Structure 1
Amino acid sequence: MRGLPLLRLLVVGLGTLVVPLDSMVNVAFPAIVGHFAIPIAGIQWVVIGYVLAQSSLLLAFGRVGDMLGYRRIFLLGSAWSGVAFALCALAPSFGWLLLARVLQGIGAGLLLSCGPALATQQFPEAMRARVLGAYTMMFGLGGALGPVVAGVLVARWGWASVYAARVPLSLLAFACAFALPARPRPAAREPFDTRGAALLSAGIGALLLALAQLHAAMAVPVLLAGAGLACLAAYGRRRPAAAPIIDPTVFRLRGFAFITLASVGLNFAGFAVLLLVPFYLARFAALSTPMAGLLLAVSPLGIVVGAPIAGRLAGLVPARMLALAGMAASAAGLAVLAGAGAVPALPLLAFAMLVQGVGMGVFQVAYFDVVTATLPLAARGVAGSLGMLTRTVGLVTGASLLMLTFQGLRAAGAAGGLGAADAFLAGFHGALLLAAAVPAALLVGARLLPR
C-alpha cells in the first residue's frame, strides 16, 4: 500500500479515530459526576445514550451509504461529530450532555457505517483483507491512545476536554475527505426500505437497552427484549417492495451466523479487560493513574499488532483458520488474567493482555473478511456496519453480564466469610473465567465455520 490510495486510507482512519478515542470519556467519569453533582449510577446514561444511538442506526446508515455513496456519509458523519463534540464540551447541564451524547452516537454511526467500505474502495478487491487489517489497526490505535491522552487532558483542562479535543480532528477529517473519490451518480435512485429500517433500529435499540438494564427489576429487561425480538421477527418475515436493509437469509448460510455470533462473543470476552482489570489494579497494584493507563493500553495495542499481521496472512491462510487462531489467543490471554493473585505479576499481566489483544485483532480482520466476502459488493456499507454492530452488542453484553457475575460472586464470597480482598478476587476470578470460557467454547463449536 503506497501513494494516493494510502493517503486516502489515512484520511478514513483519521475520521474514524474519533470513535475509538471515546475511551477517553471513561477516564473523565469521576470529573463529570462531580461537576454535575449526579449520583454515580447516573453516569451509565452517558454510555447508554451514545451506544443506543450509534448501534440502532448502523445498518440503516450502511444501506444509505450503499445507495448514495460512502464519501457523502463520511463527510456528513465528520461534520456532525464535530458539532456534537462541541455541544458535549459546552453542555450547561447533565441533561444537555446526554442529548449531545445521543447526537454524538448518531455521528459515530455515520462514520462507522461507511468506514470499512470507504477504506476498501480505495484499493483493488484483491487487497481487501490487507486494507481491513490496516483499518482495524487504526481503530485499535484509537482505543490504546484514549486512556493515556485522557489522563493528561482531564488533569489539566477538566472533563470537557475529552470532547473538545476531538473537534479539530473531526473538522480536519471533514476537510481532507473532499479528496476522496465521489461515487458516480446512479442513473436511477433506488428506493429506501424505510419501514424495514424502523423495525431494525427499534429492535436493535430495545435489545441493547434490555442488556444494559439487566441489573434492574427483571420485568424491565424482559419487556424490552420481547419488544426488540418482536421487531426483528417482523423484519425477518416481511417481503419489502424495496431492497431490504440486510437480507435475513444470509444468516442461513453455513457458518455465517456462527462467526457473527463469535464476533459478539469475543467482544463480550475482551471487554473484561477494560471493565474489571482497572479495579484489580487500583486495589492490588498501587500504580499511578498514568501507569495504570499505560498498562491498560496494552490490550488495544495488541489489536494494533495483530490486525495488520492478519491482513498480510489473509491471502495465504483461510479466514476460518485466522478466526480460530484469534479465538485461541483471546481465550489463552484471558485465562492467564483469571489467575491473577493478590500480588500482581505485572509483566505477566501485560503479556496476557497483549496476547488477548492480538487475538482480537486477528479475529476481527478475519470476521470482516468473511462478512465482506459473503455479502454482495454493492452492500459493502451494510457489511461493514454489521461488523461494527456485533462489536457493540458484545461490549454492552459484557458490561452487564460480567459486572453482574463479578458483583454476585464477590457478594457470595463476603457472605461466606471471606475478607474484602479475597471476596474481590473471587468475583474477579469468576468473571474472568467466564470471559475466557466464551472464546474457548466457540473454538469447540468452530466446526460450523465455513471451510
Structure 2
Amino acid sequence: MADPHNASAGILHSRILHSRPWQIAMIGLGTATTQLDTAVNIAFPAITRGFDLAIGDIQWVVICYVLAYASLLLALGRIGDTIGHAVVFRAGLVCSAVAFLLVGYAPSYGAMLAFRCMQGIGAALVLSCGAALVTGLYGEERRSRALGIYTMMMALGLMLGPLLGGVLVAAWDWPAVFWFRIPIAIAALLLLRGVPAPAPRAARDPFDIAGGIALALGLVTMLLAFNRIRELSAIWLGLLSAMAFAGFVFRQSRAARPIIDFAVFRLPGFAVLNLVSVLANLAAFSVWLLVPYYLTRVTGYSLGESGAILASGAAGAALAAPIGGRLIGQRMSAERLALAGAAGIGAGLILLSAWTEQTPTALRVAGLVVQGIGLGLFQLAYTDIVTAALPLGDRGVAGSLALLTRTLGTVAAASIVLMVFEILHLQHGFFDAFHQTFQLAALLAFASAGLLALSSRRIGHP
C-alpha cells in the first residue's frame, strides 16, 4: 500500500515545480515596475516644459528617487529577512502603484519630487527582496540559474524603458511614463501566489531601528556629496556622512542582530569585490549619460530609433545573464565570470570611444551590445558571489548589497563622468571629449578586471 504521507509530499512538490515559472514571472513583472523607470529619462524635456523648469532643475527628478531607494535598501533587506520577503515585496508594489498615480497628477514640481521620494521607497521595498524571492524558489544547487533569470528580467525592464518612453510621451505626455506601470504593479500583486511565507514569529529578531536611521543618513549624505562634488558643500556632506557611518558601525557592533555583519568583509577578496562593483558600474553607466547626447548630434535618427539603439546595451545584458547562470558551477567559477564581465565592459566602451559621425549603425549597436553583455555577466556573477558569502538567512541583505554597490557606481558616474566630459568638452569639443571620456571609462573597467585578477584566493571563501 502506498504511503499517504509520501503521496501528499509528492503532490505538493509537483505543485511547487508547476507553479515556479509563474511565480518567477510575477516577481519579474513586479521588479519591472522599478526598472522601467528608464522611460522617465525620455520624458525629461516634456517635464521641463510642463513645470516651466530650468534644465538643471530636472536632475532632482532622479536625485529624489535614487536617494530614497538607495538609502533604504540594506535596512529593508534585513526587514525582509525578518518578517518575510513576500510581505515586503507586496508592500512595495502597493506603495509603487500609489506613487505612480500621484506623480502623474502632481500639481506642482515640489509635489512631484515628494511623490518621487515615495516612488523610491516603493522601489526599495521591491528591489530589496526580489532576488531573495527568486532564489527561494530554487535549491542552493540552482541558485546561479535563478539569479541569471532575475538579472535577465531586470535588464529587460531597462531595455523596454527607452523604447516605450518615447511612444508614451508622444501619445499622452509625460505622466504616461508613470501611469502605464500602475496596471503592471497591480497585476503582479494580484497574481503573485504561493511564495515563501514569513518566518515564524518566535524566530524573528528585533530590527535595529537606530542602526537603520544612521545607515540611511550616511548613504543620503554620501550620495548628495557625490552630486555636489564640485561645490564646497560636498566637504560638509562628506563629513556628515562619515559621522553617520561611524555611528552605524558602532551600533552594529552592539546590535543583537546587525543589519549587516561586517565580518563578511574580512573574507578574502570580498571588500575588493564590492569596490570593483562600484567601479565597474561607474564605468558602464557612462553609456546612459553620454550616448543620448551623441545620438542627438547624429542626423537621421528618430526618437524611437535613438531609444532602440540605446536599449541594445540592456538587450546584451538580458541575453548574457541566463547563459552566465548556466555557466557558473559547470564550466567556470563566478569569480572568473565576474572578471570576464568587467573586461567585457571595457571592451565595449573601447568600441564606443571609436564612434564618429560616419560610424554605421550596426557598429554602434555592436559596441553597446558588447558592453551590455559584459555588464550582464558581471552583475550576475557579483550577485552570486555575494549571495553565497552571506548566510542563508540574510538573502534580503545580500540582494540589497548587490544593488547598493550598483547604485553607488551609477550615482558616482552621474557626477564624475559628466564632470570629466564637461572639462574635456570645453578644451577639445564634443566628439573628442566623447572619445576621451569613453577611453577613460574603459580604462576604469579594465582596472576593475585587474583588481579581480590580482585576488590570489577565491573571493568570498575562507
Could you say whether these structures have the same fold, taking a TM-score greater than 0.5 normalized by the shorter chain as the test?
yes
Q: In structure 2, the residue corresponding to 1:18 is in which secondary structure?
A: helix
Tell me if structure 2 keeps the 8 A contact 1:71–1:180: yes
Aligned partner (choices 365, 373, 383) of residue 350 of structure 1: 365
Q: Which amino acid aligns with 1:298?
A: S
Paired residues for 1:300-449 under 5 Å: 300-316=314-330, 317-413=332-428, 423-446=429-452, 447-448=454-455
Alpha-carbon distance in 2 for matches of 1:325, 1:188: 41
Contact 1:208 1:396 in 2 (8 A): yes
Which residue among 24, 29, 33 is the counterpart of 2:48?
33
Contact 1:71 1:177 in 2 (8 A): no
Q: Distance in 2 between matches of 1:333 and 1:111?
A: 31
1:259 pairs with 268, 273, 289, which one? Answer: 273
Q: Which one of the candidate residues 174, 183, 193 is aligned to 2:208?
A: 193
Contact 2:345 2:371 in 1 (8 A): yes
> What letter is aligned with 2:97?
G
Alignment of 1:98-177 (within 5 A): 98-177=113-192
Is it true that 1:228 corresponds to 2:206 in the alignment?
A: no
Which structure 2 residue ranges, 5 or more long, are not aligned? 1-15
- CA separation in 1, counterparts of 2:55 and 2:151? 33
Q: Which one is further off, 301-310 or 436-445?
A: 436-445
The percent of aligned pairs where both chains have the same amino acid is 44
Query: Take 2:164 and 2:270, find their aligned partners in 1: how far apart are those partners?
Result: 38
Identify unmatched segments of 5+ residues in structure 1: 414-422
The secondary structure found in structure 1 opposite 2:90 is helix
Please report the RMSD computed on the Cα atoms of aligned residues, expressed in angstroms.
1.3
TM-score, L = length of structure 1: 0.95
Q: Give the TM-score normalised by the residue count of structure 2.
A: 0.93
2-structure distance, mates of 1:381, 1:443 = 27
Residue 242 in structure 1 maps to residue 248 in structure 2 = no
TM-superposition CA deviations, 1:168-193 (whole Å, max 9, x none)? 11111111224423234232431111
Structure 2 residue 282 is the aligned partner of structure 1 residue 268: yes
- Say whether the 8 Å CA contact 2:276–2:451 is kept in structure 1: no
Cα distance, 1:285 vs structure 2: 4.2
Report if aligned partners of 1:259, 1:449 keep a CA contact under 8 Å in 2. no
Amino acid corresponding to residue 245 of structure 2 in structure 1: L
Moved more, 25-34 or 229-238: 229-238
Q: Which amino acid aligns with 1:345?
A: P
Deviations 1:422-447, CA, capped at 9 Å, x for gaps: x1012111211121111111122222
Q: Tell me, in whole angstroms, the C-alpha distance in 2 between the residues paired with 1:206 and 1:448.
A: 31
Q: CA offsets per residue over residues 248-289 of structure 1, 9 Å max, x none?
A: 222122111111111111111111111101111111243111
Aligned length: 440
**Cα deviation code 1:45-103 (max 9, x no counterpart):** 00000000000000000000000000100110001100010011111111110000000
Matched residues in 2 for 1:254 and 1:188: separation? Answer: 31
Q: Which amino acid aligns with 1:265?
A: L
The 8 Å contact of residues 152 and 319 in structure 2, kept in 1 or not, is answered as yes
Q: In structure 2, what is the Cα distance between the partners aligned to 1:109 and 1:241?
A: 23
Change (3 A) 1:233 1:184: closer
Contact 1:284 1:344 in 2 (8 A): no
Structure 2 distance, partners of 1:213, 1:154, is 30
Matches within 5 A, 1:44-59: 44-59=59-74
Is residue 256–residue 450 contact of structure 1 (8 Å, CA) maintained in 2? no
Alignment of 1:97 onto 2:112 = yes
Given the alignment, which residue of 99, 103, 125 partners 1:88? 103
CA distance in 2 between counterparts of 1:91 and 1:320 reads: 46
Higher mean C-alpha deviation, range 349-358 or range 222-231: 222-231
